[in-house]
């Protein structure tokens, strides 16, 4: 797409948003259609696919036994990774994780961790020696904007779908027993992302809106409508009034999107 066409499209987006409208017909605080599927990958302990408009995310979980961190000897470990698959966008390149994928993984990880979604103490097998390590791998399969919200939702849906193997301790060794139990997920954090365009806030920016925005703000909301994590992106800024406005909207949207999950 030529730079002239891009500038014309961006001006059209900004002019419409100034009037309280959007190019795809949504209101300023409307999400695109959300679809959540769980349990798609047989070899994973848990999995989920999220479609947010044309943005597509796949998440899978794996459970291993490992050592706890020295400062939390009686708690399990969570590790979140994100991969921007080159086929998902012309801007994604193969190779080591870039800044965007690292940020995506950290925002998803922080939302889960700070909301206390997982009961890490229940993931302890033997304090200081053995704990369950939960790996969450997020794959961006198609990029059409707002990767954070879609990835956070996919990661949570995969965790809710995750089954832990039963076990017992015999002579200091972990013996796997028949059957499974659900992962101890007690909270359901939902990320809600805003873009600031023409001094107005819009929810769930699609790709062309992201290319037009001045700044991005993501708030992760728990079941009790608490803001448990915030991430700001872009070179622009948000006024205190806009942050409070965003928080109020995020609480409403989080409650709506949480209903897409099964647990």
Domains, the chain, ordered by start: 29-258 (3.30.230.70)
The mean pLDDT values, 10 residues at a time, for the chain of 263 residues are 77 94 96 97 94 98 96 97 92 86 97 97 94 97 98 98 90 86 96 97 97 97 97 96 98 97 87
What pLDDT, on a 0 to 100 scale, did the predictor assign at position 95? Answer: 83
Beta bridge partners of residue 50, listed in sequence order: 36, 57
Q: Cβ(138)–Cβ(80) under 8 Å?
A: yes
Measuring CA to CA, how many Å separate 166 from each of 169, 178, 194? 11, 6, 41
Whole-prediction pTM value? 0.94
User: H helices of 19-75, where?
Assistant: none
- Residues 6+ positions from 140 with CB-CB distance below 8 Å: 55, 56, 57, 82, 83, 84, 85, 88, 89, 92, 104, 147, 151
Cα dihedral angle (13, 16, 20, 22), rounded to 10 degrees? -50
Please tell me the predicted confidence (pLDDT) of residue 1: 56
Q: Which DSSP letter does residue 145 get?
A: S
Look at residue 5 in the predicted model and tell me its pLDDT: 78
């Amino acid at each position: 797409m030529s730079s002239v066409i891009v500038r014309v499209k961006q001006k059209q987006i900004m002019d419409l948003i100034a009037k309280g409208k959007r190019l795809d017909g949504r209101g300023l605080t409307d999400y695109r259609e959300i679809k959540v599927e769980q349990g798609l990958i047989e070899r994973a302990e848990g999995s989920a696919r999220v479609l947010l408009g044309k943005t597509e995310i796949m998440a899978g979980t794996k459970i291993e036994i490992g050592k706890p961190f020295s400062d939390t000897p009686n708690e399990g470990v969570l590790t979140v990774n994100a991969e921007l698959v080159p086929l998902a966008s012309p801007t994604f390149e193969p190779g080591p994780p870039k800044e965007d994928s690292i940020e995506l993984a950290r925002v998803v990880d922080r939302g889960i961790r700070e909301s206390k979604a997982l009961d890490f103490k229940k993931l302890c097998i033997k304090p200081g020696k053995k704990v369950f390590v939960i790996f969450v791998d997020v794959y961006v399969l198609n990029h059409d904007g707002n990767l954070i919200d879609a990835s956070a939702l996919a990661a949570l849906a995969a965790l809710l779908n995750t089954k832990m193997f039963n076990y017992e301790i015999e002579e200091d060794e972990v013996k796997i027993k028949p059957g499974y139990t659900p992962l101890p997920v007690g909270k359901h954090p939902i990320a809600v992302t805003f873009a600031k365009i023409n001094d107005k806030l819009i929810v769930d920016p699609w790709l062309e809106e992201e290319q037009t925005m001045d700044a991005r703000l993501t708030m992760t909301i728990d079941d009790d409508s608490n803001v448990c994590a915030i991430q700001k992106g872009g070179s622009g800024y948000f006024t205190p009034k806009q942050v409070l406005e965003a928080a109020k909207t995020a609480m409403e949207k989080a409650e709506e999107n949480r209903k897409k999950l099964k647990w």
